[in-house]
C-alpha cells in the first residue's frame, strides 16, 4: 500500500474506501467496513450527508484493529461550515465514529 506523509509526520494510506451509498442498511455498511478492514484497508472516507458514521464507528470499534492504525476522513454538511457550527458538527461526527 502506498502512503503520503502529512505535515505532522504521520503517514496516511493514499487509498481509502469511499462509503457513499455503500449499503442500504446500517448492517450492510457495518459488514462492508469490517470486510474492508479485514482485507487491509486502513483509510475510510465518509460524510455527515451519507448518514453512515454510526455503523462505520461500530465496525471500527469491533474490528480489533488498534484505532490509531485507522484513518477516517469525513466531511461537514453545508449548514455546518459556518465558523460557529463547526465545533458542534465535529463533535457529533466524532461521537458517531468513535
Joined grid coordinates for residue 35? 470486510
How far CA 49 is from CA of 19, 21, 80, 87, in Å, comes to 11, 10, 11, 17
Distance from C-alpha of 47 to C-alpha of 77, rounded to nearest angstrom? 8
| List 3, 30, 41, 50, catalytic entry | 50
Would you call 41 a catalytic residue per the annotation?
no
| 3-class SS of residue 98 | coil
Nearest residue to 93 (alpha-carbon basis) of 59, 48, 41, 26: 48
Joined grid coordinates for residue 54? 454510526
Q: Which residues are catalytic?
A: 50
Amino acid at each position: 500500500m502506498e502512503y503520503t506523509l502529512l505535515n505532522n509526520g504521520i503517514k496516511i494510506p493514499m487509498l481509502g474506501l469511499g462509503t457513499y451509498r455503500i449499503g442500504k442498511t446500517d448492517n450492510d455498511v457495518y459488514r462492508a467496513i469490517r470486510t474492508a478492514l479485514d482485507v487491509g484497508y486502513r483509510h475510510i472516507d465518509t460524510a455527515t450527508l451519507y448518514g453512515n458514521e454510526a455503523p462505520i464507528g461500530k465496525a471500527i470499534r469491533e474490528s480489533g484493529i488498534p484505532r490509531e492504525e485507522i484513518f477516517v476522513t469525513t466531511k461537514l454538511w453545508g449548514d455546518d461550515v459556518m465558523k460557529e457550527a463547526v465545533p458542534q458538527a465535529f463533535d457529533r461526527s466524532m461521537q458517531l465514529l468513535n
